[in-house]
Structure 1
Amino acid sequence: MENFKAGFVAVVGRPNTGKSTLVNALVGSKIVITSHHPNTTRNPIRGIVNRQDFQMILVDTPGMHKPKTALGTRLNSMVTENISSTDSVLLCLPANEEIGAGDEYIAKQIKNGQPLFLVVTKVDAVSKSDLAVKLTQVSAFVDKLGLSRAEIVPVSAKNLEQTELLLELLAKNLPKSPALYPTDINTDQAEELMYADLIREAAIEELYEELPHSVMVTIEEMGEREGGKIFDISATLHVERDSQKGIIIGPQGSKLKSIGTIARKSIENLVDMQVFLQIHVKVSKEWQKDPKLLAKLGFTDALSD
């Protein structure tokens, strides 16, 4: 098609600003795990929006924060790399939080002339009068940083309020191009990573207070059984210390069983068949601070940091 457009949009922001929930809403299905806890996303995940006249690849990035570990440094590098390599940038600013130094830092990473959308997320969490105040603050933020090309769009990903309008505005800035991915998929994320993330999502919800960021999941084996009615997955849930292993397993294995049940149901929704899930717990000491171990766990560029 002569006027077809296709391109990449980086979705950025501080931790827990609604990035993943927004990507899922724009794509129209759950492709990214979400949580009300910060630093849930650890890899850039591409959500693909296919329409008759455009294909938009939304790159959901980890929340940018002050790094304390090799993992934190790597996550921030992922964000800046994706900002510089995409056609436009969508910066999430929650309606129920103040704009701060972290937002300024992220905005300053954006190249001059690169289309920027300041998306005020979570508008369902505030009153109309508070939203009006917030939009005034965002306008002042634009003026302060000289973001002359920025467009401000308030949305509620939860209620799908103004999400179609946002897609239309983003699509206008895509370059003319044929589709960059097959038009029958909505993510390029490997199945293995999706299953690992769903297991981690279950663990985060069950154990966030005890183990906020100490959990990593790897898939050891996976595949359909003969006959195609059952999908087997063997996974390893990594923690950093021996004491955390006991917390994950719980009394008589209750916590691990609960994590497995939640994760299995999520994976079954994805693969549309019965899942047999085995989860083993392993102590991988200080994995967040060990570049070699991070690389082994899938953070392939960790050794260069």
Structure 2
Amino acid sequence: MQERQTPEIVFEEELTSPDAAGGVFDEALTNTSAKGNTVLHDRMEGNTGGFSVSQKKVTAMLRQDGPADFSNMTPEDVKALHDMKYRTKERMKKAERQSKLTGSEKGIVERMLHGEIAPEDVKNMSGVNSEGILSVYNATKDAKKAERLVKNYKTGTGTSKRERVAEIVGDINLGKDGWKEKSSAWRMHIRTPERVIEEIAPKETAKRINDEIFVPIHENERDKTEWIRNIFDKVDELKIGKKKKFTVTVDNAPYKLSESGMVQYLGEKRFDLKKLENSTSLTAEEMKRMEQLRGEIKEAEARLTPEPWNG
């Protein structure tokens, strides 16, 4: 499938349709999570325009007025929402680099974001980079709204969970037919949460809490353990060696890598190089970095015939 090129100047009209997810999701970007894991957001095959239902759904949220409805969010929707936050931020940075606004022009963007200046007024301004101002304004507005959407989703999810727990637990009334207060606190520490609840809560309440809160937690942990085990099994099938038998230069010093480490090293270097090569305007520092990356990749590829390993 042929990639569509992103216009140099980003205007709001690109994404006025909820189906036009390409304005946000048309570039092959890499999203790095807080834990440092790189997650490649590839397009789902078989969807009209090459974009997933989730990507179109969150793009519609970005474009709509008023509060977003997060009630039917799937795991795929949540991933697309966080991906959109990352992508809109990257587009904002790109617009800022390409537009090269002056201090006064950046001030105009800030006033636009605060509603003091309308986009239509900027088009009629003389002596300023109108296209650049509009590009940065639209990209920044998207980035800020995407960030708010993620924040509102997290806040709403937390509120929904608290309300659901309150509904499951019900009123806490002490007494013969209600909740019991145990004097031996140390015994509570050596028992499972389920056993503790069974001892202090009314019978029906304890069963409801265990079935609707603790059982799903245990099932999720079991599924997580099984998923990790399956991933390890699949990686083992690739027969990727863990012995450090490749040498590359890092910070002007030799550094040993295993086969899996070399795969990650080359993948990250090639991605960084591709990103710079696709940029239309590079600073002198970025040009220098691009040449450095090419040298690092060439050196690493020359090392792919492994050195003898001496255990």
TM-score, with length taken from structure 2: 0.24
Q: Would you tell me which structure has more strand in proportion to its own residues?
A: 1
Higher helix share: 2
Structure 1 or 2, whichever has the larger Rg, is 2
Per the normalisation by structure 1, the TM-score is: 0.25
Report which structure shows greater RCO (CA 8 Å, sep ≥6).
Answer: 1
